[in-house]
Structure 1
Amino acid sequence: MNARVELGSTSAAAFADEPLRCAIECDTSRARAPERFEVFRDWHSSILDVSLKGGKVIDFAATEKIWQLGDIAFAVIDASPDHLLRWEHKKKPAVDNWVVSVRDSHAPCTAESSSRRRLGIKNLTAPHACESEGRLFALFLPYNTLDTSLAPEIADEDAQFLADYLILLHHNLTHLRRSNVARVAEATIHMLAAVLAPSHDKLAQAQAPIDAVITTRAIRAIDAKLADPGLSPEYLCKSVGVSRSRLYRIFEPAGGISNYIRRRRLLETRRALADSANVHSIAQIAENMGFTDPSTYSRMFKREFGLSPKEVRALGWQELLHPGSREMSQTSGSNPTLNTLLIRNSLGMSMSN
């Protein structure tokens, strides 16, 4: 009997440390081409009516992945961008969940693509309709998790903030362990509550996911002006809309905002040096990223990567080092919080995981 208890305990611990996996994964390609849209409509038939705007099609390609985060279901639907889908409520849906949806392009996350996102918050029991094409993210929450009206109003800036959070959450799902799921679900609910019915307590509870969204916005601003000498903490505070102290606190896991920018610039020079198609001198590559003193640059580079710029160039041109590879040290605890998980992933500090 003792042996069984010990085995059960070990199995439970191992299970908790496993990566989070999809609970449901569907693909219309498993059905015959003429039946694929009907198969897709069947997936949602008990909660939503979905139709093709413009009539029937000969073929319909779509996949759907669903992750279970406690009582929350997170769905990602990828459909052909050539097909415009119309989603409408059913008169008697099987559940009265809230649905937070984000229509998103397949383009890389940039300030421009971010502005094209559209967020909706609806209750399945309330009349509603929307259209989507391409990728759609949808968060399903039990009715009693949000204390708001059936048709909540949300400011454009708050809607964009939530959209950014859902995209970030999706990006981080592959890094989650089962033991983190309860904290992620709780933080997500706090985030929604803080936006829909803001109060001091709710904002405090949602601090971790709010910081994570601010981080991703700051990183987009950094990437857009990485080679610009005017890139500074002051510029980022103004661009992202946060105080200097908060910006410093958010980037503390990366050693501070200035240290993060320096690392990103060193990584960019490393990528350029390892690219055999780049014929610029080492001094030119360094200067393009703001490193005007060659000896100082060389010392910083070797301290960061363990190799000199000349050695990286030689290895890259011999095709022994991939120009896109990135190395960044991290000091991650064995039981990270949602805050550290999202921010470290956003900062590129979990790539070795």
Structure 2
Amino acid sequence: MTSSHFSTLATPPCRQFEAWCGWFDPVFDVAPPTDGLSAGFEGEITVWSLGQAAIGRVRAPRLHALRGAHNIRREPVDHWNVVVGGRDTRLTRAGGAVTIPARTPFVVSLGEVMESEREADERLQLYLPRDHFACLAPILDRARGVPLNGAAGRLLAGYLHLLEHSLPELPPEDLPRLAEAIRAMVGACISPAVAGSELAAAQMGATQLEQVRQAIRRRLSSATLNAAALCREVGMSRSQLYRLLEGEGGVARYIQRLRLQASYTALSDVGDTRSVAVIAESCGFYDPSTFSRSFRREFGISPSDMRIASRAGAAPAAVFGPVMEAETRTLRSCLHGI
């Protein structure tokens, strides 16, 4: 199986950190090391695409990565990320900060604001797209930011290392079966690791949110998609729906955000030859001026400029471009490839 490899080792030391930031932009911002950059920033990343998922090995110096609201607006991908680090990780989310011990797996969602800090380290990161792993949404959302300790957590860490070591020898014909194996193993390991007295209620809320999300995705182009239509679609009362989406900014805002995310993905896809107007209508925007205004407010760029930048092979507001040994040139490209 082939992989994409990025390294700053061949980059002049004075530009190594800039190149590293270029790899992560716009998914993450990377804060400069507190001890300065005089020694450069030597790091390497190898990413394997698994068809419906991706796994990466990252070796880097001390690192402070941030995914803020502006990152989510510019790159609204909401994959889960299962991480196993060789050093402790200081993870900060809306619920507070926690220290994840070394060699202990943990889950984060790229759909939320967060930041992580750790010393020089080598770690594995398994990216699971929400659409491909929707059946695991209740346990993965419940596991966010929780150190997955115990036997189940150790088993998951061992599985990820075994998976990474086995990929170079994996025949291409085995790739279609790999996603199902990952789905089964991740589910089996994380379920007992996050078990607790409040798990049933948390799972129910996460399951309902996923049902609403899928219902919106199915009817994205519908001009009549509103709270009443969603209630009928998922069998939920209006008050239940409003309580469920209160933390998401409300029903209308949640629908619009999913529509804008879908339009962003389509406009970023160089293989999608539809016009901007057709893409807008497929995502439920039938007034071009409203679509353009909403898109620019959300992502800081107009739909037409987004289309032009994507076809030119450049992400908006791109920084120094790292040199890759394969066609994939940024983390953003890797995430859009699964």
Query: Larger relative contact order (C-alpha < 8 A, sep ≥ 6)?
Result: 2
Computing the radius of gyration over CA atoms, which structure comes out larger, 1 or 2?
A: 1
| TM-score, normalised by the number of residues in structure 1 | 0.44
| TM-score, normalised by the number of residues in structure 2 | 0.45
